[in-house]
Amino acid sequence: MKRVLAGIAAVAAVALSGGTAAAQDAATVTLLHGIPGATVDVAVGGEVLLPGFEPGATQDLSAFAGQSLADVEVRLAGTEDIVIGPIDELAVPASGNWTVMAHLDAEGTPAIAAFENNTAPTADGEGRLTVRHTAAAPAVDLVVGDARPIEGAENGASAELALPAGEIAGAQLAPAGGDPIVDVPTVNLAAGSNLIVYAVGSLADETFTFYTQEIEVGTEAGDDGDEGEDGDGTPAPTEVNTGTPISDSVNLSLLAAAFGMLALAGGALTLRTVKQR
Amino acid sequence: MNDVRPDRTRATGRALLVFAGLSTIAAIMFGAVAVWPSSGDDLVLDVTPATAVTAPTTVPLLITPSPVPATAAAPEGNPAATTDTTTSSTIALSPLADLLGVPGSAIPPMIEPRVRPRSVTIDDIELWGPVRAVGLEDDGQLEVPDETEIGWYRYGSSPGRAGATVLAAHVSWNDTIGPFFELGSLEPGARVEVRLEDDTVRTYEVVERTMYDKDSLPRERIWRTTGDETLVLITCGGSFNPEIRRYRQNIVVYAVPVA
């Protein structure tokens, strides 16, 4: 029946195809299977669009940007058992960079969420680490050493950290305010990249794990993530101060004043010594 | 924070609109056949705008070869059926499957954490000091431990890997001498031993000592994770600026691994 209708609408559709192309130019939409342990079929309008979609797999849906998918079902692979849906209408974002994700909500019920990915360039030598809680687990803190850069993130939350490019090792997750219970795998954050880490699965079912997605966004300095002609993307400190540091701001102003007087008094001599080895 | 959940409306009227939309997409593919039934090339031309997606740039590390043909060359009723390799062939595939872009994987690659340096021994200047990992201060300066420890720059390289392993420590700190107090007297040929967390020891030989103005540290030699393995020791030296109570220069010692 649908195909008959399609045939009737043929001429109009050819005219509309240009519009479809314009919509997809403006958007990047990635579908992510974020429910470990269940290979699924994704069906639209009663017919399978995506057979054998495995946990951790992604599928580019950019061609559907700006469209609405009707009667969407996520089924256990090869069966009619519905995992998610039927969803009467699934609106695919029309612009921006999005990840549409099948995941478990806090209670362990399969759900679909859409996250917009930040594609703004990063600062020189930095990457963007995006952390998303999409697991059947309570609110969590991200623990790095003694610090908790993300606190109380609940299922569905997405948080971004701007970090110097490099290896990120030793991060852990803890129930909000509690002791760490899970190690986050070591990831390599490239300069000019948005690295998205998804916590997925279920703590109770022992399917809890992490998925990642990397989006090149470039740095403010240039498109390729390098800074300047000399660097390889490794962040460089602005300065290395390994002498006596400024330790007491109250005394400092007095000291600075005192030294300032001295410096004025012996000005020429002091300046002369600067370039000496 | 970006958490937008698509509405799941159940309005029948909207569903009908959607049905029309779906029909439109289907018509792009089948309509072309109806208009130019004899020409497969024309069909490809019509479908191309809808399938020329830019997806490979979105998940560059994770892309696996696509099992989906690039475009539907064969104008059959169910062009995606040939891609159905994982499930029963009795499943009716949606014609929309032809519009799917590139599949990929979000399973993260395994990265073994690096073995970190734990302590440094330089017999020539009677130095032994514990090492801890340091990063950057909020203002972009290198974080430097107090006078009891040596800092390993964790965004640089690590012993045994390509690039420069950077160790920095104070020459002096609030009237106390720091671990690198005598770095300025370290001569080429001196041995530097770095003990790692796994209790292995990596030995380096000093090849160069150079003093730089603080704003002139050679980026391409010190701040890198590619190229020849080099151990870089940094402290302060040269003239002292009493106004800001800081040295104006850095002393940098370069050492290379001993085979």
Contact B15 A263 (CB under 8 A): no
User: Which percentage of chain A shows pLDDT scores above 70?
Assistant: 75
Please determine, for residue B164, whether its predicted confidence score (pLDDT) is greater than 70.
yes
Q: What is the pLDDT of residues B60-104, one digit of tens each?
A: 222 233 333 333 333 333 434 344 444 444 566 788 888 888 999
Q: What is the pLDDT of residues A159-208, one digit of tens each?
A: 999 999 988 988 999 999 999 999 999 999 999 999 999 999 998 999 99
Kindly identify which residue of chain B lies nearest to residue A249, measuring between CA atoms: B244
pLDDT in the model for residue B208:
96
Give the phi and the psi of residue B230 in degrees, each rounded to 5. -140, 145
Please give, rounded to a whole number of angstroms, the shortest distance from the CA of B112 to a CA of chain A: 7
Average pLDDT over chain B reads: 72
Count residue pairs from A and B with Cβ separation < 8 A: 372
Q: What is the pLDDT of residues A76-115, one digit of tens each?
A: 999 999 999 899 999 999 999 999 999 999 999 999 999 9
pLDDT in the model for residue B1:
42
Give the phi and the psi of residue A140 in degrees, each rounded to 5. -130, 160
Query: Which residue in A112, A115, A214 is closest to B2 by CB distance?
Result: A115
Cβ–Cβ contact B50 with A under 8 A: yes
Query: Which residue in B106, B170, B174 is closest to A242 by CB distance?
Result: B170
Contact A44 B234 (CB under 8 A): no
Angstrom distance (rounded) from CA A177 to CA A148: 9
C-alpha closest to that of A35 among A205, A226, A159:
A205
Contact A70 B21 (CB under 8 A): yes
Cβ–Cβ contact A120 with B under 8 A: no
Angstrom distance (rounded) from CA A198 to CA A215: 14
For chain B, the farthest-separated pair of C-alpha atoms sits apart, in whole angstroms, at 90
Poorest-confidence range of A175-184, B69-78, B172-181, B216-225?
A: B69-78
Contact A13 B27 (CB under 8 A): yes
pLDDT in the model for residue B160:
93
pLDDT in the model for residue B231:
98
3-state secondary structure B232-259: EEEEEEEEEECCCCEEEEEEEEEEEECC
pLDDT in the model for residue A197:
97
Cβ–Cβ contact B92 with A under 8 A: yes
User: Which percentage of chain B shows pLDDT scores above 70?
Assistant: 64
Q: Which pair of tokens denotes residue A254?
A: 């007095």
Q: What is the pLDDT of residues B2-45, one digit of tens each?
A: 444 444 434 434 443 444 444 444 433 333 333 333 333 333 32
Contact B2 A18 (CB under 8 A): no
Q: Which pair of tokens denotes residue B90?
A: 């009795």
Cβ–Cβ contact B91 with A under 8 A: yes
Kindly identify which residue of chain A lies nearest to residue B3, measuring between CA atoms: A115
Cis peptide before A86 (omega within 30 of 0): yes
Query: Which residue in B94, B173, B245 is closest to A49 by CB distance?
Result: B94
Cβ–Cβ contact B212 with A under 8 A: no
Please determine, for residue A277, whether its predicted confidence score (pLDDT) is greater than 60.
no
Q: Are B72 and B44 in contact (CB under 8 A)?
A: yes
Cβ–Cβ contact A257 with B under 8 A: no
Cβ–Cβ contact B257 with A under 8 A: no
Find tokens 């209708």 and name the residue.
Answer: A5
Poorest-confidence range of A232-241, B86-95, B151-160, B181-190?
A: B86-95
A16 CB neighbours in chain B (<8 A) are 24, 28
* Chain B interface mutation, best of A242, A252, A259, highest count of B Cβ atoms under 10 Å: A242
Please determine, for residue A249, whether its predicted confidence score (pLDDT) is greater than 50.
no
Is the ipTM beyond the 0.95 threshold?
Answer: no
- What average pLDDT score do residues A38-65 get? 94
Q: What sign does the CA torsion over B157, B158, B162, B163 have? A: positive
pTM of the model: 0.66
Average pLDDT over chain A reads: 81
pLDDT in the model for residue B132:
95
Please give, rounded to a whole number of angstroms, the shortest distance from the CA of B208 to a CA of chain A: 16
Long-range pairs of A149-158 with CB within 8 A, sequence gap ≥ 24: A151/A176, A151/A177, A152/A176, A152/A177, A154/A106, A155/A104, A155/A105, A155/A106, A156/A105, A156/A113, A156/B3, A156/B5, A157/A132, A157/A133, A157/B1, A157/B3, A158/A115, A158/A130, A158/A131, A158/A132, A158/A133, A158/B1, A158/B2, A158/B3
pLDDT in the model for residue A222:
61
Cβ–Cβ contact A274 with B under 8 A: yes
Please determine, for residue B150, whether its predicted confidence score (pLDDT) is greater than 60.
yes
